[in-house]
Amino acid sequence: METQTVRERMLKQIEHMARHSVIRDRRYLDDEQLVRSEQLAVLEEIFNTKVREAEVSELSSHFAGMLRGDHPCHLAIWGKTGTGKTMTLCFFLNLIADMAKGRGVELRHEHLDISTPRPCFRALNDLACLLGAAKRYKHGISLEELMVRIETHLADFKGYLVLFVDEVDNVRDREPFLTFLVRRLPQRLQAKLVLIFVSNRLDWCDQLNPRIRSFLKMNELVFEPYDAADLQHILRIRIGKALRPGMVGDGVVGKIAALASRDHGDARQAVALLARSAYVAEKAGSMITLNLVDEAARQIEQNRYVALMRSAPRQLQAAMAAVIDGARGGRLLSTAQAYEAYQRLCAQVRLNVLTYRAFSDLLAELDLYSLIDSRIMSRGRYGRCRQIRLSLPQNLVDQIARAIRMSFT
DNA sequence: TGTCCACAGGAAATACGGGGGT
DNA sequence: ACCCCCGTATTTCCTGTGGACA
């Protein structure tokens, strides 16, 4: 009896969802889930709408010489996250490699992605792996040895070698790394080496040896953030691929584009907001409306806080938990009171207790992220003290508390 | 007007840990 | 396997401060 009704309800639910579903292919809302060729297809469609036209034509004129046998110089590219640097370059290099093949020009291109900070040794080792010149080492091999292996591995190659170093600014101690690539490697190869450095910081080469810097400064290309119109194009293409037709209300695309271009013009953010909106709409069983976009934006915002705390250092988590515990019911808390709560908590979860001074810095950090709201009040004769309260909505505070508890167990 | 509370927050010293070199 | 170095976290020490109170 019981199972029957459950079964029925589920069937009804599925039927309802099928009739009202918003999403046709959710993979197109998240690049990670697309295979390479699909990504490139999306990009091609985007570039066909004149988005990034200036940059692509700049790249074309810079590299077109390769098809005629010239040796183009290196290129330094700047742009904030989500401005499509990596995507544009990948697309472009694929395109030019294709054309080169058609004309019998030997061209090899590699993408060295330094997505997380790593020392020179790691970066070189990664490069060697990428080229197939060496295996992955933890240690036990000198920098020199790595360099020689890369050189000997490439010794016989005579065509163009385009090396696309993504997020170079993540290489700590990048001087030797860059010196190797810029000054030493070209001299020891028969191949025509073309380096492309991408960074999201304008100042990444400021502290470098002037000789290398001047070398890099020769050719720069800046990726401006997308404007709202670009973002609209990008969103429309995604919508066409990912959603069923007619599921997007009036003004929704404009709104998402406006929100995303207002902070940083990050395309990834815009697509993420679209994805979340679609998800929320699907759950609500309606098309995407302006209100649902607001709801989605709120959820993304809240998730950021939760994710931030989940991945925060334990001490910071403990400080947050202490404040949540102490400031129940909108109570105002002084640093000293918060510190007491923190000490109790540390005892419970066997965390070593930091000094008052260090704890005070933790609170300042929480305040910086606006996880708490703290201001300094003078009580005259009775001294000055910080008044701490939770400023986030209660349900979010509960989520954060839960996330912290999870990572403590 | 000066005092003094109760803390904030800067500076320097020190501890710690992880990665690279040998 | 071991040591050293360096960047970061933490501690220690200290000076600064707004305003109620006498």
Q: How far is CA A386 from CA A84, A371, A373, A389, in A?
A: 44, 15, 10, 10
* DSSP letter assigned to residue A328: G
Pick from A237, A232, A202: which is nearest to A220 by CA?
A: A202
User: What is the residue-averaged pLDDT of chain A?
Assistant: 85
The spacing between the Cα labelled CA in A360 and the C1' in B13, in angstroms, equals 19
Give how far Cα A73 sits from Cα of A66, A174, A334, Å: 10, 20, 60
In this complex, the nucleotide whose C1' atom is nearest to the CA atom of residue A356 is C11
User: How far does CA A66 lie from the centroid of its chain?
Assistant: 32
Of all protein residues, which has its CA closest to the C1' atom of C10?
A: A358
Average pLDDT over residues A263-290: 89
Pick from A30-39, A129-138, A347-356: least confident: A129-138
Angle between helices A290-310 and A267-284 (to 10 degrees): 110
Which residues are bridge partners to A75 per DSSP?
A: A196
Mean pLDDT for A30-55 is: 86
Q: Which pLDDT band, with edges at 50, 70 and 90, does A207 fall under?
A: low
> Distance from residue A139 (CA) to nucleotide C2 (C1'), in Å?
13
Tens-place pLDDT, residues A314-338 = 899 999 999 999 888 778 888 889 9
Given this model, what pLDDT does residue A296 score?
94
pLDDT, tens digit (0-9, with 9 covering 90-100), for A47-105 = 888 888 888 888 888 888 888 888 888 888 888 877 888 888 988 898 899 998 988 88
Whether residue A2 is predicted with pLDDT greater than 60 in this model: the reply is no
Nucleotides of C under 7 A from a protein CB: 1-2, 9-14, 16-21
Nucleotides of B under 7 A from a protein CB: 3-11, 19-22
Per-residue confidence band for A258, with pLDDT thresholds at 50, 70 and 90: very high
Nucleotide with the nearest C1' to A118 CA:
B19
Nucleotide nearest to A374 (CA to C1'): B8
- Calculate the angstrom distance between C1' of C4 and CA of A211: 31
- Could you read off the pLDDT of A180-201 as tens digits, one per residue? 888 888 888 888 899 998 887 7
Which nucleotide has its C1' atom closest to residue A139's CA? Answer: B20
**Two tokens at A273?**
């907001």
Give the separation between CA A253 and CA A375, rounded to whole angstroms: 39
Give the helix, strand, coil percentages of chain A, each rounded to 5: 60, 15, 25
Tally of residues, chain A: 409
For A212 and C3, how far is CA from C1' in angstroms? Answer: 33
Confidence of residue A108 (pLDDT cuts 50, 70, 90): very high
Residues touching nucleic chain C (CB < 7 Å): A 139-140, 313, 315, 352-355, 357-358, 361, 378-384
Instruction: Specify the nucleotide whose C1' lies closest to residue A361 (CA).
Output: B9
Contacts of strand B, CB cut-off 7 Å? Answer: A 118-122, 138-143, 334-336, 357, 360, 363-364, 376, 380-386
Tokens describing residue A390: 């939770």
